[in-house]
């Protein structure tokens, strides 16, 4: 007996011997069978004992019992009666035994059927869950189980599963978009490289200057691609959350990074100043934090005009440690401020390409800040300059 | 055949423009969508190679705008050149009015073949070879023959002859030639058209042969179908 609306999958599973449904049905009916057998056996035994212990004929008066019997002699009549009574008892017990065995057998079959049906009913949602799970592939995570029905354990399980699918979907979608954006970014320099080489190689009149020009273009394209690949690897690396974490003094990171940029700043004629408080304890990866600050610093120096000023400050309040990079460059419009942390966003595509910038710098900064449980904020006014600030949770040694 | 090449990668534009010019096309370039739209509005391009991702107007918008407000004359063919390769992007590109779609990076030869194929889609044009009388021009190999005699033509002369051969018997004005065979760098007040037509005319005929390009005073030039006459 199957539930009338059992799905095809459910049926397939249930037909397998040793499936949970079979086992549940068997367990249920064996338990029921055992209990019924004990009860029926108990009734039978106690009845048979009661009948043999207290024969009715012992207390009953002979004349009360058999009115129409023909009295020949007292003794033989009493013996016959006892025999008769024994016969009746035996027959009644036989009858009872037959009925009991039949009833218990019928109960076994009935309980098997009921057990099969009930187990099927209970397990049907599981069949649905596994059929949906089977249909879900890594490329299409948009399916959900959406079990519905009463708010029970299976519903809870299905909802948990749906939540997990939702998170996976978001993660995969993000990954897919990233791969697509990254390949798009890599295709452009590849196209430049290929078109230049194709055209110059196919030109029988090309002279040394033509080849030199094509070589220069190829060199630029290659530099762009390698900068991009470096940043892509860095980005992918920081996307993992298991990188090194230890209590460090952020003030050391800031001071050392600023020192690293001293030469670059003076080469561009930019004044680099810093004002850093002592003992800025955070839990984090010093290499990653240094990278974040370096990205902010190189941006600030790049947008500053010669004679401009870049100020790096760091300090803390009761909860957070902050590191700030302030420039007096051109600033960013409100629309650009929203997009500036997006991957591959560049304010000035053409010149960014010339300089071999990947457009990942600020995305990496944000990623590092968020991986440390912090964030990065931006305040900017067009014509005045921009301030990027990285906020990190302060480490308190208890 | 005049082509507008639009991409924000100057290095790419330079290389492709050079390659296409060598194939005898007049090539103009634009580095963003706004410039492209402005040029396409004033010049009747035969083909526009259009990048999608650009600052300002992107390729989809340029394409849509050109299809909604087509410039005068024949609407240009549009070939999308882009690094975006998803099926949805291709469909979107074709749906906003592009005639073909080529994903970067591509082999230059493939681009050239697609350009030929798109420019062939004019009425009466079927293959890569154009024939008018005994004159024969192969747009793919650039071979030109008159009665099995090979011609040695420059890219510009080749382009000029191809334009004439796609309009045999029609009177072609100097303005038409400037629009379709010369690019934006040509000075309309010089006699470059007259000079090039003259050279081509001389190259097409050896001594004793009839001249194939006729000058119609006041209106332009015409290619004579040499097979039709005695």
Query: Does the structure show a pLDDT above 90 at A313?
Result: yes
What is the 3 state secondary structure string of A293-350? HHHHHHHHHHHCCCCCEEEEEEEECCCEEEEEEEECCCCCCHHHHHHCCCCCCCCCHH
Residues A295 and A235: their CA atoms lie apart, in Å, by 12
Q: Which of A192, A219, A339, A359 is most worth mutating to test chain B (most B CB atoms within 10 A of its CB)?
A: A192
Strands in B135-138's sheet, in edge-to-edge order, are B129-132, B135-138, B144-146, B149-150
Query: Does the structure show a pLDDT above 60 at A316?
Result: yes
DSSP chain B: -EEEEE-S-HHHHHHHHHHHHHTT-EEEEESSHHHHHHHHHHS--SEEEEESS-SSS-HHHHHHHHHHSPPSSSPPEEEEEES---HHHHHHHHHTT-SEEEESS--HHHHHHHHHHHHH-STT--SSEEEETTEEEETTT--EEETTEE----HHHHHHHHHHHTSTT-EE-HHHHHHHTS-TTS-TTSSHHHHHHHHHHHHH--TTSPPSEEEETTTEEEE--TTT--
Return the pLDDT at A311.
Answer: 93
Q: Rounded to an integer, what is the distance from CA A62 to the centroid of its chain?
A: 86
User: A187, B107: Cβ pair inside 8 Å?
Assistant: no
Average model confidence (pLDDT) across chain A:
82
pLDDT band, very low/low/confident/very high, at A83 (cuts 50, 70, 90): confident
* Domain boundaries for CATH 3.40.50.2300 within chain B: 2-120
Return the pLDDT at A63.
Answer: 52
Pick from A111-115, A139-143, B68-72 the range whose average pLDDT is largest.
Answer: A111-115
Closest CA relative to residue A387, chosen from A340, A352, A347: A340
Q: Which residues contact A219 (CB under 8 A, 6 or more apart)?
A: none
H or E segment and range at residue A46 = helix A20-53
Contact residues on chain A for B14, CB-CB shorter than 8 A: 217
pLDDT band, very low/low/confident/very high, at A8 (cuts 50, 70, 90): very low
H or E segment and range at residue A175 = helix A153-202
pLDDT band, very low/low/confident/very high, at A11 (cuts 50, 70, 90): very low
Residues, chain A, total? 398
Residues B99 and A261: their CA atoms lie apart, in Å, by 51
Contact B97, B66 (CB under 8 A): yes
Six token digits for residue B12: 């790419």
For A176, the closest chain B residue by CA position comes to: B86
Contact residues on chain A for B55, CB-CB shorter than 8 A: 349-350
Segment A324-360, tens digit of pLDDT: 999 988 888 888 888 888 888 877 766 666 666 778 8
Give pLDDT tens digits along chain B (230 positions).
Answer: 889 999 988 889 999 999 999 888 989 999 989 999 999 888 888 899 999 888 788 899 999 888 888 776 667 889 999 888 888 888 888 888 899 999 989 999 999 999 988 887 665 555 678 888 888 888 878 888 888 888 888 888 888 888 888 888 888 888 888 888 888 887 777 788 888 888 888 888 877 778 888 888 888 898 887 654 43
Return the pLDDT at A139.
Answer: 59
CATH 3.40.50.2300 fits B2-120, yes or no: yes
Candidates A184, A196, A350; nearest CB to B83: A184
Contact residues on chain B for A216, CB-CB shorter than 8 A: none
Six token digits for residue A344: 């591959």
Candidates A180, A185, A217; nearest CB to B11: A217
* Domain boundaries for CATH 1.10.10.10 within chain B: 129-223
Query: Does the structure show a pLDDT above 50 at A301?
Result: yes
User: A350, B10: Cβ pair inside 8 Å?
Assistant: yes
Q: pTM for the full model?
A: 0.61
Average pLDDT over residues A56-85: 60
Domain B129-223 class?
mainly alpha
Return the pLDDT at A24.
Answer: 86
User: A187, B83: Cβ pair inside 8 Å?
Assistant: yes
For B54, the closest chain A residue by CA position comes to: A349
- Closest CA–CA distance from residue B153 to any residue of chain A (Å): 14
User: Phi then psi for A179, rounded to 5 degrees?
Assistant: -60, -40
Q: Which domains does chain A have, with CATH numbers?
A: 8-135 (no CATH), 243-393 (3.30.565.10)
User: B106, A194: Cβ pair inside 8 Å?
Assistant: yes
pLDDT band, very low/low/confident/very high, at A6 (cuts 50, 70, 90): very low
pLDDT band, very low/low/confident/very high, at A76 (cuts 50, 70, 90): low
């Amino acid at each position: 007996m199957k539930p009338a609306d059992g799905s095809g999958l459910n049926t397939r599973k249930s037909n397998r011997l040793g499936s949970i449904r079979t086992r549940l049905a068997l367990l249920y009916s064996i338990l029921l069978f055992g209990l019924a057998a004990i009860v029926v056996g108990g009734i039978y035994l106690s009845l048979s004992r009661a009948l043999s212990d207290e024969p009715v004929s012992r207390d009953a008066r002979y004349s009360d019992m058999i009115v129409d019997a023909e009295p020949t002699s007292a003794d033989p009549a009493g013996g016959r009666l006892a025999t008769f009574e024994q016969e009746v008892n035996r027959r009644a017990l036989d009858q009872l035994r037959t009925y009991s065995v039949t009833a218990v057998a019928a109960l076994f079959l009935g309980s098997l059927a009921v057990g099969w049906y009930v187990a099927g009913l209970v397990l049907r949602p599981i069949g649905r869950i596994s059929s949906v799970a089977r249909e879900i592939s890594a490329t299409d995570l948009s399916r959900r189980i959406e079990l519905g029905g009463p708010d029970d354990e299976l519903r809870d399980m299905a909802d948990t599963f749906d939540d997990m699918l939702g998170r996976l979907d978001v993660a995969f979608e993000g990954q897919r978009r990233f791969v697509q954006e990254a390949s798009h970014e890599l295709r452009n320099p590849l196209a430049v490289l290929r078109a230049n080489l194709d055209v110059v190689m196919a030109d029988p009149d090309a002279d040394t200057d033509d080849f030199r020009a094509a070589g220069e273009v190829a060199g630029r394209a290659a530099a762009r691609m390698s900068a991009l690949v470096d940043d892509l690897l860095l980005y992918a690396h920081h996307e993992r959350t298991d990188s090194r974490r230890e209590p460090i003094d952020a003030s050391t990171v800031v001071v050392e990074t600023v020192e690293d940029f001293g030469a670059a700043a003076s080469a561009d004629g930019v004044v680099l100043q810093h004002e850093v408080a002592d003992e800025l304890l955070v839990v984090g990866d010093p290499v990653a934090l240094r990278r974040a600050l370096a990205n902010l610093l190189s941006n600030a120096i790049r947008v500053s005009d010669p004679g401009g000023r870049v100020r790096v400050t760091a300090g803390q309040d009761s909860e957070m440690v902050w590191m700030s990079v302030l420039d007096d460059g051109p600033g960013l419009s409100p629309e650009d401020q929203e997009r500036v942390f997006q991957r591959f966003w560049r304010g000035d595509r053409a010149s960014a390409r010339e300089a071999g910038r990947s457009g990942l710098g600020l995305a990496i900064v944000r990623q590092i800040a968020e991986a440390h449980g912090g964030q990065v904020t931006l305040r900017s006014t067009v014509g005045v300059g921009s301030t990027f600030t990285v906020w990190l949770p302060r480490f308190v040694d208890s | 055949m005049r082509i507008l090449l639009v991409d924000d990668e100057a290095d790419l534009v330079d290389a492709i423009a050079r390659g296409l010019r060598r194939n005898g096309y007049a090539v103009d370039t634009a580095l963003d969508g706004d410039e492209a739209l402005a040029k396409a509005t004033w010049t009747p391009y035969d083909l526009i190679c259009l990048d999608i991702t650009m600052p300002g107007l992107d390729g989809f918008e340029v394409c849509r705008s050109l299809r909604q407000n087509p410039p005068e004359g024949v609407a240009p063919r549009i070939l999308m050149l882009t690094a975006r390769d998803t099926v949805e992007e291709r469909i979107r590109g074709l749906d906003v009015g592009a005639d073909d779609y080529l994903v970067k990076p591509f082999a230059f030869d493939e681009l050239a073949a697609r350009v030929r194929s798109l420019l062939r889609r004019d009425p009466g044009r079927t293959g890569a070879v154009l024939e008018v009388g005994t004159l024969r021009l192969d747009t793919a190999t650039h071979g030109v023959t008159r009665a099995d005699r090979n011609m040695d033509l420059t890219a510009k002369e080749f382009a000029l002859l191809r334009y004439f051969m796609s309009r045999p018997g029609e009177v072609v004005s100097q303005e038409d030639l400037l629009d379709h065979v010369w690019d934006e760098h040509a000075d309309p007040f010089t006699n470059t058209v007259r000079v090039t037509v003259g050279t081509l005319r001389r190259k097409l005929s050896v001594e004793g042969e009839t001249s194939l390009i006729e000058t119609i005073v006041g209106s332009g030039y015409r290619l004579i179908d040499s097979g039709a006459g005695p």
